[in-house]
Structure formats: structure tokens, C-alpha cells
Chains A and B, each alone.
Chain A
Amino acid sequence: MMIKKNVATSDSGFIFNPATGDSFSANPMAAEIISLLKQGDSSASIKKIILEKYEVESGQLEKDWDDFMLQLRDANLIES
């Protein structure tokens, strides 16, 4: 899963897609995941980081991860 190369992100959670002109705001969790995805981390390693760092069950994270990927796809932010 790769964030499109030209998508600009900021630490505060602002996302801009110059290809479409759309901008988004991300909550801190989403901003962190996007930043890790941009670094090229794999889904598995990002999930591992989150499970270690945050108070969340793996089942819950799995559900939320799938939903988040749907959001990114709908927003046209990831490579197809």
C-alpha cells in the first residue's frame, strides 16, 4: 500500500493532493499511519508499531485499518 508520491502531508495532519486539488485533515492516528506509509513501511510493521504504542486490541486495529484503507482509496490518495 503506497501513498501517491505527489501527495503532500504535514505533521499536523494536513493532506494535499495536487493532482485533484483536494485537501484533507487527518486525526493524529491517521497522520501517523500516513507518515509511516510515506516512509515505505509495510502494513504489517505499521500495525505492529501501533499495537505496541497504543491501547488497542489487534482485532479492533484490523477493522479500523481496513476502513482507513477504504477512506484513503475513496480520497484517491493511494496508488491503485
Chain B
Amino acid sequence: MQKLRYERPVIQKMNAGLMNKFGTRTEYEPVKQIDGVAVKAIIEQYGSPVFVISERSIRRTYQDAVRAFKTRYPKVQFAWSYKTNYINAVCNVFHQEGSWAEVVSGFEYNKALGNGVPGNKIIFNGPEKTNEELKQAIENESLIHIDHFDELYQLIDICEHTSKKPRVAIRVNMDTGIYPMWDRFGFNYENGSAWNALTKIVASGKLQLTGLHCHIGTYMLSSEAYAVAAKKLISLAQDCKTKLDTTILYLDLGGGFPSANTLRGAYLPASDTNPSLEEFAEAITNTILNAGFKTDELPLLILETGRALIDEAGYLLGTVLANKRLSDGRRATIMDFGVNIMFTSFWYEHKISPAQDFTHHTEDMVLYGPLCMNIDVVRETINLPLLNRGDHVVVHRVGAYNMTQWMQFIQMRPNVVMIDEKGNTHLIREAESLPYIEQLEKMPGHLAQFTL
């Protein structure tokens, strides 16, 4: 006799009272494949956990973003934000699409050069730039975005010994009505520091003032703030033209556009609340177009969008290690991935889907990672089907920051796989090994041996 399909027994308390009219539904559809490649097959070949990047999704998202801006404004350039995901294969998809590189350290700068980005298409941001790094950037005619007066004087000092006149911009921070105000980076607009820096740059005679940059925050939920930012940059640009006789060639509005991830504690899902990229594009380009620039003097608009271009393309596939019941009766499920490789668990309530068929019965649970650390919580509460040891899940929208901020802590970092547009999988970053982790360690001679 054919045996019946088994499902572990479970009861759910039925809650009377007001329902949450904004309640989101349980993920009723299992996600069994990504871009046509079976999740099971990926895990069989590359192990679990494993990050998966969809090349098709990157290209589609990038092209949509470019279209959103270029249909509204004639001169637009995207620069890929390396810190968001600097795995070379990922960067190169963006570069193939036409994106420059935006870097915030010498390490990232050299990564971009190594990927083949011409030096004059690298934007060098960030508060730390050594003399050597600045000299390299000057030599390569990169766009150097000055963060503070010490860096400005450092740069002027370097220029005493070179015939090259570096192309520079300043980063401007400002009140755009957003809290918190990111005033730790760049020169403040309201207190006159930004203008002071601009006059010093021009007066030095050693630097080419070419642009103005701002980056007003991260995961911004107001497109209006970008209109305010653009307006303030434009007023500086117009002052540069009239008072300093210097034409600003580009305005770099930075990044900070949100992805479709839901922030922790948010009442509504991000898909219902976050402005679209079109809304940001509309706010920024309208402000510039209405500022009174002559058509042939419109500045180039640079965007350093990171998260909004890559989050959607990243998936994390994982496996259930164990189920347990907590002292208060809650179900806890332990996964083979945790905050060590999914740093964004601290920020988002990630969408997680089962990767196999299941019945309509679900349960509320806490999702823990595998670390022997209390902080390792992937989701404080989530409603999922009855997962069993060995079942697979798919975590969505993990493309941004996880593959740069991940930690080698307790566990090693896993394989990263890219699915190309034809559905072929490519290993783009190999899982770490013990020899790899230990290669930089040195053992003092007197500690080499012991007896227990």
C-alpha cells in the first residue's frame, strides 16, 4: 500500500479581534528556481549556503534606472558604487553596461583599475585618501571628491610637486529636511564651509574645480529631499560661475535610493511605501532643468546608485539545520546562514521563501543563524510553512552590502555564483578555506609547540 504524505503535527492558536488590514500574506509560492536554474541543483553543485547573483536582473535593473533618468535629462552618467558589491564579476556587468566606478578607498580604487576602468572614469570619494593614493588618482586624471579641509590642503601640498592639475569636486552636506543629516561627510552648505572650500580651491590655482557632489543619506524614502539637494548644489554651481568664473561641469547627486526590501519595524511592506526610481529621477532632473542653465551648459548628472541597482539581483540559498521549541512555546528554526553573511538582517525583514512544495499550513517562528552568538537572528518573527531539517529556503534581495560587509566569524564565507543571461552558472567567488583564512597569520617560535 502506498503510504500517505506526512506533515509534522501542528496547531495554531486562532486570534479573535481586529485583523491587521495591512497584513501581508504568507509566501504561498515556493521558489524552486532562479532564472530557470533549479535551486536544488545550485545547492547540490555549490553547497549551502550559497549566494546567487542574477546577471539578467542586474542588467534589467540598470537599464531601467538609466532609462528613468535619460528620458528626463540629456546628460546622465552612472558610476557603480564599489562598496555595495565589489565582486569583480558584478562590477564588470555594470561596466559593460556603461557605468563608471565610484570608490571610497585605495583598495577599491585599485580594484576598479584592475577591472579595466580607465582612471579618468573613476570617482574617488571617501574621507581617507593617502598621499600615494592621491598621487595615483592625479596621475590617472580621476575625479577626486574632497571630503574635508585637511584633504584639500593635502592635495594642494601634493600639487606643489607635480605639473598636473587634478580634477576635483567637493562633497557637500546639507539640510534637506531629512533626519539624521549626514553632516560628517564633506563640507556643510548652510554654514558656508562648502563655499569657503570652493573659493580656496579656485584661489589655489593648482586644482581644476569640475564638479559638486552630495550624498544625502541612505535608504531615502523621500524624493523631495533630492530636489532640495539638487537646488542647493545648483546654487553653489551658479555662484561658482558668477563669482569665481568657474563652470561646474557635473553635479553628482550620489546614491541612497532604496531597494524593495522592507526595513525592520516598518508597518507596511517596502513595495507599498518606497518611492520608485522614476520619482527620484523626476525630482532631480526637474530641479536641474528648471534652474536656468543654458541648454549647452547643462551639467552632467552623475549618480552613484548602489543598493537600488543590485539588491534585487542577489539571492541567498540556505538549508534548515534544526527546529526547536523555545521556553515560551515559540517555534525556532535554525538555518545554515546567519548575520555573519547576511549583515542586512540587522536592517531588513528579508523576504524568505521555501524552495519546495508545502501545504497551506504555516507557523510563526524565529529564524536563527548557525552562530553560537545570541545576536544571530535572521528574522525575529516570520510566518513560514512547516520546515524540516534539510529543507531549502531562498532569501530575496541580498545583493547589496552583504558580499562586502560579510564577516569571517565562526563560519567561513560561502561560494558566490552568477547565473548568466543564458542560464549558465559561474562560480564568481570561491568559498573560503582554512588555509585561505590562516595565510596571513604568523606563529611566534616559542608558541609553536605545546603539550597537553
Residues of A with Cβ closer than 8 Å to B?
15, 22-30, 33, 50, 53-56, 60, 64-65, 67-68, 70-72, 74-75, 77
CB distance from A29 to the nearest CB of B (A): 4
Q: At the interface, yes or no: B294 with Cβ under 8 Å from chain A? A: no
Main secondary structure of the interface of B (DSSP, over half): loop
Which residues 39-95 of B have a CB within 8 angstroms of A? none
Contact of B11 among A15, A60, A64, A65 (CB under 8 A): A15
Bound CA–CA A54/B388 (angstroms): 16
Give 30 pairs: A residue, B residue, CB < 8 Å, sorted on A: A22-B13, A23-B16, A24-B11, A25-B11, A25-B12, A26-B10, A26-B11, A26-B12, A27-B7, A27-B9, A27-B10, A27-B386, A28-B7, A30-B9, A53-B3, A54-B3, A54-B4, A55-B4, A55-B6, A56-B6, A60-B8, A60-B388, A64-B8, A67-B323, A71-B9, A71-B10, A71-B325, A74-B329, A75-B11, A77-B11
Which residues on the A side are within 8 Å of B361 (C-beta)?
Answer: 27
Name the B residues within 8 Å of A33 (CB-CB).
9
Within 8 Å of chain A (Cβ to Cβ): is B21?
Answer: no
> Roughly how many angstroms separate A42 CA and B11 CA in the complex, as a whole number?
20
Interface string of B309-353 (1 = CB under 8 A from A): 000000000000001010001000000000000000000000000
Interface string of B391-412 (1 = CB under 8 A from A): 0000000000000000000000
B9, B10, B323: residue with the most chain A Cβ atoms closer than 10 Å:
B9
Q: How far is the CB of B423 from chain A (nearest CB, A)?
A: 33
Contacts of A71 in B (CB 8 A): 9-11, 325, 329
- Is the pair A23, B14 in contact by a Cβ cutoff of 8 Å? yes
Residues of B within 8 A of A15 (CB): 11
A60 vs B14: C-alpha distance in the bound complex, in angstroms? 27
Bound: A25/B379 CA distance, A: 24
> Is B24 located at the chain interface by the 8 A CB criterion?
no
**With contacts A24-B13, A27-B361, A70-B329 known, what are 11 further pairs, Cβ within 8 A?**
A23-B13, A24-B12, A26-B11, A29-B10, A30-B9, A54-B6, A55-B6, A56-B6, A70-B325, A71-B11, A74-B329
A54-B9 Cα distance, complex, nearest whole Å: 12
Chain A: minimal CB distance from B320 (Å): 13
Shortest beta-carbon distance from A28 to chain B in Å: 7
Chain A residues with CB under 8 A of B9: 26-27, 29-30, 33, 64-65, 68, 71
Which chain B residue shows the least CB distance to A55? B3
Is there a chain A Cβ closer than 8 Å to B442's Cβ?
Answer: no
Inter-chain contacts of B184 with A (CB < 8 A): none
CB distance from B389 to the nearest CB of A (A): 9
Q: Say yes or no for B359: interface residue by CB 8 A criterion.
A: yes
Q: Give the residues in chain B near A26, CB-CB below 8 Å.
A: 9-12
In Å, the complex CA distance between A56 and B9 comes to 12
Q: A67-B325, A70-B325, A70-B329 are in contact. Are A29 and B13 (CB under 8 A)?
A: no
Residues from chain A with a CB closer than 8 A to the CB of B329 are 70-71, 74
Name the residue among A27, A28, A55, A70 with the largest chain B CB count within 10 angstroms.
Answer: A27
* Nearest CB on B from A21, distance (A): 9
- In Å, the complex CA distance between A23 and B323 comes to 25
Say yes or no for B243: interface residue by CB 8 A criterion. no
**A68 cross-chain contacts in B, Cβ below 8 A:** 8-10
Interface presence of B5 (CB below 8 A): yes
CA distance A67 to B214 in the complex (A): 55
CA distance A54 to B325 in the complex (A): 24
Q: B residues 1-40 with Cβ under 8 Å of A? A: 3-14, 16
A26–B361 Cα gap in the complex (Å)?
A: 9
B8 to A, closest residue via Cβ: A64
Which residues of A are found within 8 Å of B12, using beta-carbon distances? 24-26
A25 and B14 in contact, given A70-B325, A74-B329 (Cβ under 8 angstroms): yes
